[in-house]
Structure 1
Amino acid sequence: MTTSPGAGRTAARDDIERAHLVDPTDHTWSIARASVSPDLGDLARRFWIPVWDVPEGRDSVQRVLQYPVCLIVVSDGYTRFYGVVSGLSHTMLTGRGWAVGVMLQPAAGHLLTREPVRRMTDRFVDLRTVPALDGSALTRGVRAHMRPDPTSADAQAQAREVVEDALRPLLPVDDEGLLVTAIVEDVETSPELLRVDDLCARFDISERTLQRLLHKRIGLGPKWLIRRRRLQEAADRLRDSDAELAGIAVDLGYADQAHFTRDFRRATGLTPGEFASRFR
């Protein structure tokens, strides 16, 4: 398990860091992250467990360019199933609190909702209303372990076990779900992939079929998927002190720096230069 503080990190970043548009001056929170058990790899990617203590009169806004997956989040005050957020996700932290979250695989959302995941885009519902999960038992179990001391590594491990036990009955993942997960993984790990027709060629499927699969399983289409990966990569590279905007724009397939700047600002509310200045 790894723990990331709410401040600038000097260690090497990985794919987890790309999505979280962290403010390096915010020291009010920490996040413990952990892998899921190997047998659940087709259903879930990883856990994150934030614990925060925000002084009275202040707040801490967490901004995330979310991955193309659904989420399960249980806190002391709410329990939710989230669809994919097409824009920038905002979470406001106040006072003291904690949450236990699991990032699902692209295949999993449909298995839990039993309906096309496009109906969940930019929405969340109470976890206890999700058809394929005993959300009430899951919530009770997580809270029972976390409430005494949410910073305890043992408590966090027991809470993760509760979530994993609730997910296991969904196994095995169907072939369509595995295909969609493979498509998403290919986009996320292939910086050179910039066109939908190239993605179709890799998997030998038509664009119409690809559109249908992605809208059913993640709620958004292939153009969004490619654009989101480019923006996450841009945010990651802008943290480096020697990053050059023009070079990033070219590497990520933008026509010019102005196009890159407009796209990044529309998605994050900051220009690339403004975002980069946080880490200087």
Structure 2
Amino acid sequence: MTTAPGRPGGHTSTRDEVERAHLVDPTDRTWSIARASVSPALGDLARRFWIPVWHVPEGRDSEQQVLQYPVCLIVVSNTYARFYGVVSGLSSTVLSGRGWAVGLMLQPAAGHLLTRAPVREMTDRFVDLSSLATIDADGLTAGIRAAMSPDPSSPAAQTEARDLVEAALTHLLPVDDEGLLVNAVVEDVETSPELLRVDDLCARFDVSERTLQRLLHKRIGLGPKWLIRRRRLQEAADRLRDSDADLAGIAAELGYADQAHLTRDFRLATGLTPGEFAARFR
């Protein structure tokens, strides 16, 4: 068992950090997911790939719920190709039948580079990938489907698909200075559990709150208060999977005034109380 760096209370977890956002139902065996890092050269533009493959029995659906990270997404599947803005609440996708998808989690800087517009216009919505003038969506989609369709579970097919996505994005490099700044701001929030106030975040980067608001709304579509709240909720979801999770202790360690405030925020964001979510893992 490893200790997660920087977490208050010395919280330990054997889970991959990227699973914090996925409100997984551990009894759902209808899907599998592969994850992979991007090439180092693309690190300022994208974070990681996820490639789910599913086979849901006839007459059933599998709902996937995610407390999305503050980044835009590119997703190409066997039936659609989309660009997603940041979902301010709970992101929900219903899987049915057989299928697969190749998803890329971008860096905070990347949404604006792809849309050439303030990313706040994309909050809580998605568009067809082909609507973006900055990428050859049709060629990319065709290439990914040709690679993945014979056997979407094949590591070789998944590697080829990832290579195609990376090649389609390299022309956006290098990332501009403003983009690098927003990448750094978001990373700081996500890796600093002691950071609970917007004014403290402003002080760390020597910017005014107004400037920070404008930067984040342009590049990720939401403001700094949302950013801090989202990180706390993801952390809470991660902690609640442990068999010995103590809700009052989690609330205190994450900076909530009391257990009731955490319960309210968690229910508003996910539709579940912390107890209902924790019960999935008991």
TM-score (norm 1): 0.96
- Aligned residue type for 1:227: R
SS of the equivalent of 2:265 reads helix
1:240 equivalent in structure 2: 242
Q: How does 1:211-250 map to 2 (within 5 A)?
A: 211-250=213-252
Q: How does 1:193-208 map to 2 (within 5 A)?
A: 193-208=195-210
> Residue deviations 1:34-66, cap 9 Å, x none?
000110000000000000000000000000000
1:6 equivalent in structure 2: none
Q: How does 1:1-280 map to 2 (within 5 A)?
A: 12-280=14-282
* Separation in 1, partners of 2:169, 2:182: 19
* Separation in 2, partners of 1:259, 1:125: 35
* Separation in 2, partners of 1:82, 1:238: 28
* Separation in 2, partners of 1:141, 1:173: 26
* Separation in 1, partners of 2:131, 2:278: 41
- Aligned residue type for 2:122: M
Q: How far has the Cα of 1:12 moved from its partner?
A: 1.2
Q: Pairwise CA RMSD of aligned residues? A: 0.7
* Separation in 2, partners of 1:212, 1:135: 29
* Separation in 2, partners of 1:66, 1:263: 15
SS of the equivalent of 1:232 reads helix
SS of the equivalent of 2:102 reads strand
> Residue deviations 1:83-132, cap 9 Å, x none?
00000000000000000000000000000000000000001000011121
* Separation in 2, partners of 1:268, 1:14: 21
Moved beyond 4 Å, runs of 4+: none
Q: How far has the Cα of 1:14 moved from its partner?
A: 2.6
TM-score (norm 2): 0.95
2:8 equivalent in structure 1: none
- Aligned residue type for 1:221: G
SS of the equivalent of 2:151 reads coil
What number of residue pairs does the alignment pair up? Answer: 270
Q: How far has the Cα of 1:219 moved from its partner?
A: 0.2
Structure 1: 5+ residue stretches without partners: 1-10
* Separation in 2, partners of 1:134, 1:212: 30
> Residue deviations 1:125-150, cap 9 Å, x none?
00011121111111111011001110
- Aligned residue type for 1:98: W
